[in-house]
Copies of this chain bind each other. A is one copy, B any other.
Amino acid sequence: MARIVMKFGGTSVQNIERIRNVAQRVAAQVAGGDEVAVVLSAMGGTTNQLVAWTREASPVHDAREYDAVVAAGEQITIGLLAMVLQGMGLNARSWLGWQIPILTDGIHGSARIEEIEVEALIERMRQGQVAIVAGFQGLGPDNRVTTLGRGGSDTTAVALAAALHADRCDIYTDVDGVYTADPRIVTRARKLDRITHEEMLEMASQGAKVLQTRSVEIAMNHRVPVQVLSSFSDAPGTLVVDEDEIVEKAVVSGITYSSAEAKITLQRVADRPGVAAAIFGPLAEDNINVDMIVQSASPDGDSTDLTFTVPRSDLDRAMQNLEKVKEKIGAESLIARDEVVKVSVIGVGMRSHAGVANRMFQTLAERGINIQAISTSEIKISVLIDAAYTELAVRALHTAYGLDAD
């Protein structure tokens, strides 16, 4: 007997027929003797519709009201699944965020879970009741509904698994696992049987949409074994595990790409102390994350060009800030470009292998792809390139690192 958290996303609960399919999977898990908690998203499309209404209502949101509106979708799916399971003769009940409660901080729209009071849930799960929990939502210190940001149901599931000391958190989705690259681009992409938490974290941060970044952080910190698998097939999925559970570590586990960044260049910036602070200080104060930074000498030699990336969603705000900065520091021009893509090569084996970065640069150079910026971590190398080369770069790198399926 194990204690399992099962999470189903929007496409898995799209309509009553699919909710019945979810119920079958839950019933099978219960029949195996496990204690089961289920976390659900809203029906696919519902949250988008709700978000669209909030935009139409007022371009400037009160985040507390936004949360009240967009949290409505999960309330519907959890009640419906409880009904279907009850109709099949199972003991089940739905739980809203405020009922458990799932306590979060007060950052409406992107709240962080602080505590989940699981005593009542555990007691009922021990008695054989399936706990069906609304994903994405919690209760803030102001006694109002909070939401965890897009994809937040993954986070609810993993945080609940951690609080319940669950044996596993199964994330059911519309793909059957984590791939070495996006299979829509790389036809020879392979499904990974196992991946480390750290690799999964980098992949999620660098554009792989299979899991929300925050959920992987929680899984890593609380050592929750996570499995990504399909609601629509019985194929085995991908296990996200601790590094010591993988004996044969691949040098590179996956190639990702992300179009979520935009590039900004300030030309002819005076090369003197305090200039970087004058540029990046106002962005930091406005909560805009700067990622890749490249400084290059201007042709005339007494000034530099500064290029960096910001999240595309923050580009307008960043440019407003920088227009002011440009005057102040006397830069010649300020240029924004959003036709860029960040391509990343990820793998824990990189730590103990030299030449990984070099192979990346060489592979891209051979295809005539210019690298506009570079950033690295211990287990990741990212490059910024022209968006038109996305597919070419990802496919070439996939082959170059020996990831292609036979």
Using a CB–CB cutoff of 8 Å, the interface residues on chain A facing chain B are 16, 19, 50, 53-54, 56-62, 64-69, 71-73, 75-76, 78-84, 86-87, 93-94, 96, 98-99, 143-145
Contacts and interface: CB of A to CB of B under 8 A. Distances in A.
B83 A61 contact: yes
Contact of A83 (B65, B83, B144): B65
Question: Which one of A68, A80, A144 has the greatest number of beta carbons of chain B within 10 Å?
Answer: A68
A65 B82 contact: yes
A81 B54 CA distance: 10
B71 A58 contact: no
A65 B69 CA distance: 20
Contact of A57 (B19, B61, B144, B145): B19
A132 B60 CA distance: 19
A76 B83 contact: no
A144 B93 CA distance: 11
Nearest 5 Cβ contacts at the A-B interface: A58-B87, A69-B79, A68-B79, A57-B83, A58-B83
A75 B75 contact: yes
A118 to B, nearest CB: 16
Given A16-B57, A99-B143, 9 more contacts: A53-B76, A58-B84, A58-B86, A62-B82, A62-B86, A65-B82, A72-B72, A72-B76, A96-B145
A43 to B, nearest CB: 9
Contacts of A80: 53-54, 57, 65, 69
A87 B56 CA distance: 11
Nearest to A87: B58
Contacts of A87: 57-60
A282 to B, nearest CB: 27
- Most central of A62, A65, A143, A144 by chain B CB within 10 Å: A65
A69 B58 contact: no
